[in-house]
């Protein structure tokens, strides 16, 4: 075998390996930040911020991945775990952040603040910054900043409730009473709306009611779904579901929104800021000025809306952490949040932005949103939340479709959660 | 001298193919081996907890009611969808045998579903199946009939997904059968007709026996494909209502990419691999027997 052949063989052997080689960090000059973000309005908002930032900093460009929630989680976990450092900024749904923080995959933002001799702006709503800390406490290490101030809200048709002399449904008992009245008198109206699909949707619809009845999913990291409070909550939920549309067990956000915007739904026990931004737009809504969006009803406990904040963190493996931190400061600034809220409707995470009069005029529910963000309940801080949510979502739906009684469903899910947290 | 030259050529070809072999081994053998090893571990990718637990994953998954439902649903899905697709494929091929006006445009229309992405198809069917605003229930209501919970009734949801699969993949069975039919010399049918054989005699004694290899091939390919059903479940029902449309692939996906329980995901993948391998061996034996 001659020398040429040997060289050829070495080149051929080396070629497959070169496919796996990673690029070196950019040095000086221009820089590209890669962001693992969400699709829809979140993606539009991120694009807006990136474009604005590039205008001010022409040497910084962006590659933004606009992914669905599940795809974002998969991709960001695989990248952060591998330590490749593909992403310089990642968006994280708050119940998923605990396991990512615990794994040590995010950069310590507190240290980065210290390096620049600046401090975290007190304008951020404290309950939301707490979600970015690990351990989950007011003085835990800060790993992520709240970007999207999502909180669950309650919506009802004021005109319909007024028609029958029903007051504002500020307790769940009043919601049920209103549903009964509307069912008897308005045959073309769905008295109650929620997402009944298996998994996250039905859990999200159920939790504000469950918490208002005094229920807890975990107590001291042990399952607590076999409590009398949980049973009362689920039995009440099933009673209320009798006034929901026939196909509610497969309802997703699109169906809830359709029913609400078309005027077919009277009370949505779960709406999110992103769903309701056009409720008063006559081109899209048949119920302009008729829907009140407010905090959830109370029961034995105070109103307990669920917080669903999206946080932004910098992966520890990123090779452009400093540049990413600068952009993160810009992205979460009051000015940018106001601009993003105005253009895309995504809810801010700063107190001051909730007070901007033009935004309050545009989004009448801002006071309720701010109240919800300050007093809302986050989902349990556990690294097993996804499995717990799936189990809870499965058994709630089995109870909803009549496959199990409330008691059976709770016993089953309690046992299942026990296995998961073991 | 000659032996030396032969050895040198062998070494050269071995080395020249080595990169490809390394890549193939890395992409096929390594993942399978890794899956087998992981199946015996309690391994969470997120927390990095990794402990050898023997066959416990197989036992807990086997006892898991969701997995049991997923396995039964998958078997039901694969059986009903495959049989329906093959039978309809044969029927269509027989209908399209011979020439008639407009054959080409009709054929293109018939095979169209197969060319469209599964996610697009599911988006369309999800609207058609919608309880309140779907076309099917609109027709039922117009006829004065009770609407059907296509995707919301747990006794009907799996069948509704099967229907979508049949709509999408019957054209594949049709194309293979049609190719087989075209390869049968016309003289065979002419001779049997002269001997007094009618249409059905020709069909059952000549056409179908000659097509048996193609039928077995389509049955094998469709069984394996339907056994891996994922996209339609993900897009239409996400396993619900209840566990009525859970399938093995969806179960594996959730364990692996939602919970990152790679040990459990690997064990469930091995269950699926064993079943699919048995099915494949069974069919391949059938095909080989036919050929002999």
| Per-residue pLDDT band at B48 (split at 50, 70, 90) | confident
A64 and A23 part of one domain:
yes
Percent of chain B with pLDDT over 70: 98
Residue matched to tokens 């006794």:
B155
- The rounded distance, in Å, linking the Cα atoms of B150 and B160 is 6
Residue A1 domain-assigned (yes or no): no
Predicted confidence at residue A21, as pLDDT, reads 44
| Per-residue pLDDT band at B97 (split at 50, 70, 90) | confident
Predicted confidence at residue A4, as pLDDT, reads 64
Give the model confidence (pLDDT) of A306-356 as tens digits: 999 999 999 999 999 999 999 999 999 999 999 999 999 999 999 999 999
A276 and A416 part of one domain:
yes
A178 and A269 part of one domain:
yes
Averaged pLDDT of chain B = 90
Q: Shortest CB distance from A12 goes to which of B19, B130, B151?
A: B19
Q: Quick one: average pLDDT of A222-230?
A: 96
Residue matched to tokens 């399938």:
B247
Residue of A nearest to B7 (CA): A1
Examine the pLDDT at B287 and tell me if it is beyond 80: no
Examine the pLDDT at B110 and tell me if it is beyond 50: yes
Mark yes or no for CB contact B47/A403 under 8 Å: no
A259 and A136 part of one domain:
no
Residue A39 domain-assigned (yes or no): yes
Tokens of A348: 């801010």
A390 CB neighbours in chain B (<8 A) are 254, 258-259
**Which domains are seen in chain B, by residue range?**
65-291 (1.10.3720.10)
For residue A158, which of A270, A263, A253, A236 has the smallest C-alpha distance? A263
Q: Helix, strand or coil for residue A137?
A: coil
Give the model confidence (pLDDT) of A67-83 as tens digits: 998 899 999 999 999 99
Residues in Cβ contact with B59 at an 8 Å cutoff, skipping those fewer than 6 apart? none
Percent of chain A with pLDDT over 70: 93
Which of residues A357, A375, A393 is at a domain's end? A375
Residue of A nearest to B60 (CA): A419
The stretches of B116-156 forming alpha helices (DSSP H) are 118-129, 135-142
- The rounded distance, in Å, linking the Cα atoms of B247 and B227 is 9
- The rounded distance, in Å, linking the Cα atoms of B249 and B74 is 9
Q: Quick one: average pLDDT of A1-27?
A: 52
Q: Are the beta carbons of A107 and A143 closer than 8 angstroms?
A: yes
Residue A4 domain-assigned (yes or no): no
Q: B154 versus A331: which is more confidently predicted?
A: A331
A295 and A312 part of one domain:
no
What is the enclosing helix (H) or strand (E) of B11?
Answer: helix B2-24
Give the model confidence (pLDDT) of A172-196 as tens digits: 999 999 999 999 999 999 999 999 9
A234 and A207 part of one domain:
yes
Residue A249 domain-assigned (yes or no): yes
Q: How far is B120 from chain A (nearest CA, A)?
A: 16
Which of A6-20, A211-225, B236-250 is least confident?
A6-20
A242 and A180 part of one domain:
yes
Q: How far is B266 from chain A (nearest CA, A)?
A: 17
Residue of A nearest to B9 (CA): A1
Per-residue burial over B216-226, b = 16 or more CB atoms within 10 Å of its CB, e = otherwise: bbbbbbbbbbb
The dihedral region occupied by A23, where left means phi > 0, alpha psi between -120 and 50, and beta the remainder, is beta
Q: How far is A37 from chain B (nearest CA, A)?
A: 17
Q: Shortest CB distance from A197 goes to which of B149, B238, B260?
A: B238
Interface of B with A (CB under 8 A): 8, 11-12, 15-16, 18-19, 22-23, 45-48, 66, 130-133, 147, 149, 151-152, 154, 237-243, 254, 257-261
For residue B121, which of B238, B253, B234 has the smallest C-alpha distance? B234
Q: Residue A146 belongs to what domain range? A: 10-150+308-375
Predicted confidence at residue A9, as pLDDT, reads 58
| Per-residue pLDDT band at B243 (split at 50, 70, 90) | confident
For residue A108, which of A144, A136, A135 has the smallest C-alpha distance? A144
Give the model confidence (pLDDT) of A248-306 as tens digits: 988 888 889 999 999 999 999 999 998 998 898 999 999 999 999 999 999 999 999 99
Examine the pLDDT at B208 and tell me if it is beyond 70: yes
Q: How far is B243 from chain A (nearest CA, A)?
A: 7
- The rounded distance, in Å, linking the Cα atoms of B225 and A140 is 50
A344 and A222 part of one domain:
no
Tell me if chain B has a CB within 8 Å of the CB of A245. yes
| Per-residue pLDDT band at A25 (split at 50, 70, 90) | very low
Give the model confidence (pLDDT) of B55-87 as tens digits: 999 999 999 988 999 999 999 999 999 999 999
Examine the pLDDT at A15 and tell me if it is beyond 70: no
A51 and A64 part of one domain:
yes
Q: Quick one: average pLDDT of A123-130?
A: 96
Predicted confidence at residue A54, as pLDDT, reads 97
Tell me if chain B has a CB within 8 Å of the CB of A415. no
Examine the pLDDT at A19 and tell me if it is beyond 60: no
- The rounded distance, in Å, linking the Cα atoms of A95 and A204 is 12
Give the count of beta carbons closer than 10 Å to the beta carbon of residue A10: 11
The half-sphere exposure of A81 on its side-chain side, counting CA atoms within 13 A, is 14
Examine the pLDDT at A18 and tell me if it is beyond 60: no
| Per-residue pLDDT band at B198 (split at 50, 70, 90) | confident
Which of A1-15, A372-386, B125-139, B143-157 is least confident?
A1-15
A19 and A114 part of one domain:
yes
Structural domains in chain A (count): 2
CATH number at A368 reads 3.40.190.10
Q: B196 versus B139: which is more confidently predicted?
A: B139
A191 and A274 part of one domain:
yes
Residue A142 domain-assigned (yes or no): yes
Residue A5 domain-assigned (yes or no): no
Angle, alpha carbons A8-A14-A18 (nearest 5°): 135
A112 and A227 part of one domain:
no
Most B-contacting residue of A74, A76, A249 (CB-CB within 10 A), to test interface: A249
What is the enclosing helix (H) or strand (E) of A254?
Answer: helix A253-262
Q: Quick one: average pLDDT of B225-248?
A: 91
A394 CB neighbours in chain B (<8 A) are 66, 240, 242-243
């Amino acid at each position: 075998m001659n020398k040429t052949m040997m060289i050829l063989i070495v080149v051929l052997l080396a070629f497959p390996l070169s496919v796996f080689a990673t690029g070196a960090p950019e040095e000086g000059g221009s820089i590209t930040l890669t962001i693992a973000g969400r699709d829809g309005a979140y993606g539009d908002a991120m694009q807006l911020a990136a474009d604005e930032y590039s205008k001010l900093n022409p040497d910084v460009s962006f590659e933004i991945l606009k992914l669905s929630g599940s795809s974002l989680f998969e991709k960001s976990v695989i990248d952060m775990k591998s330590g490749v450092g593909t992403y310089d900024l990642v968006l994280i749904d708050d119940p998923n952040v605990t396991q990512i923080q615990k794994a040590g995959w995010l950069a310590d933002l507190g240290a980065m603040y210290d390096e620049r001799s600046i401090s975290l702006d007190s304008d951020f709503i404290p309950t939301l910054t707490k979600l970015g800390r690990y351990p989950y406490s007011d003085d835990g290490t800060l790993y992520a900043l709240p970007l999207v101030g999502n909180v669950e809200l309650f919506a009802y048709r004021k005109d319909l409730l007024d028609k029958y002399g029903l007051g504002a449904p500020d307790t769940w008992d009043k919601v049920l009473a209103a549903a009964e009245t509307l069912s008897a008198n308005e045959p073309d109206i769905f008295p109650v709306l929620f997402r009944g699909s298996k998994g996250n949707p039905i859990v999200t619809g159920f939790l504000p009611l469950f918490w208002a009845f005094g229920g807890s999913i975990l107590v001291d990291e042990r399952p607590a779904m076999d409590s009398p409070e949980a049973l009362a909550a689920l039995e009440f939920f099933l009673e209320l579901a009798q006034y929901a549309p026939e196909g509610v067990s497969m309802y997703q956000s699109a169906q809830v929104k359709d029913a609400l915007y078309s005027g077919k739904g009277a009370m949505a026990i779960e709406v999110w800021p992103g769903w309701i931004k056009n409720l008063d737009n006559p081109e899209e809504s048949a119920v302009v000025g008729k829907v009140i969006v407010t905090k959830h009803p109370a029961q034995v406990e105070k109103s307990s809306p669920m917080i669903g904040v999206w946080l932004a963190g910098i992966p520890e493996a990123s090779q452009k952490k400093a540049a990413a931190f600068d952009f993160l400061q810009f992205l979460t600034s009051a000015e940018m949040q106001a601009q993003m809220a105005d253009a895309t409707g995504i809810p801010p995470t700063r107190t001051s932005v909730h007070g901007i009069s033009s935004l309050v005029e545009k989004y009448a529910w801002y006071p309720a949103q701010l109240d919800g963000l300050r007093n809302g309940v986050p989902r349990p801080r556990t690294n097993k939340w996804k499995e717990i949510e799936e189990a809870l979502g499965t058994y709630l739906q089995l109870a909803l479709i009549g496959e199990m009684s409330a008691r059976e469903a709770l016993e089953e899910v309690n046992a299942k959660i026990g296995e998961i947290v073991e | 001298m000659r032996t030396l030259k032969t050895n040198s050529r062998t070494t050269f070809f071995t080395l020249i193919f080595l990169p490809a072999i390394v890549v193939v081994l890395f992409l096929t053998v390594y993942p399978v081996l890794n899956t087998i090893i992981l199946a015996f571990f309690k391994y969470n990718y997120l927390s990095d907890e990794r402990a050898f637990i023997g066959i416990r994953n197989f036992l807990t998954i086997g006892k898991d009611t969701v997995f049991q439902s997923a396995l039964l649903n998958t078997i039901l899905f694969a059986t009903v969808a495959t049989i329906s697709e093959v039978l309809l494929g044969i029927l269509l091929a027989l209908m399209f045998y011979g020439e008639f006006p407009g054959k080409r445009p009709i054929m293109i229309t018939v095979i169209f579903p197969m060319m469209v992405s599964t996610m697009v198809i599911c988006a369309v069917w999800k609207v058609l199946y919608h309880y309140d605003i779907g076309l099917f229930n609109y027709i039922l209501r117009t006829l004065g009939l009770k609407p059907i919970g296509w995707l919301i009734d747990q006794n009907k949801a799996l069948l509704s997904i099967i229907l979508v699969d049949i709509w999408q993949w019957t054209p594949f069975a049709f194309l293979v059968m049609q190719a087989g039919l075209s390869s049968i010399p016309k003289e065979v049918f002419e001779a049997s007709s002269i001997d007094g054989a009618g249409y059905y005699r020709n069909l059952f004694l000549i056409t179908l026996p000659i097509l048996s290899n193609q039928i077995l091939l389509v049955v094998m390919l469709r069984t394996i494909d339907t056994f891996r059903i994922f996209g339609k479940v993900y897009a239409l029902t996400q396993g619900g209502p209840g566990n009525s449309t859970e399938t093995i692939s969806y179960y594996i996906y959730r364990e692996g990419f939602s919970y990152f329980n790679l040990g459990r995901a690997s064990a469930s993948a091995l269950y699926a691999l064993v079943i699919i391998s048995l099915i494949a061996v069974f069919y391949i034996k059938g095909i080989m027997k036919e050929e002999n």
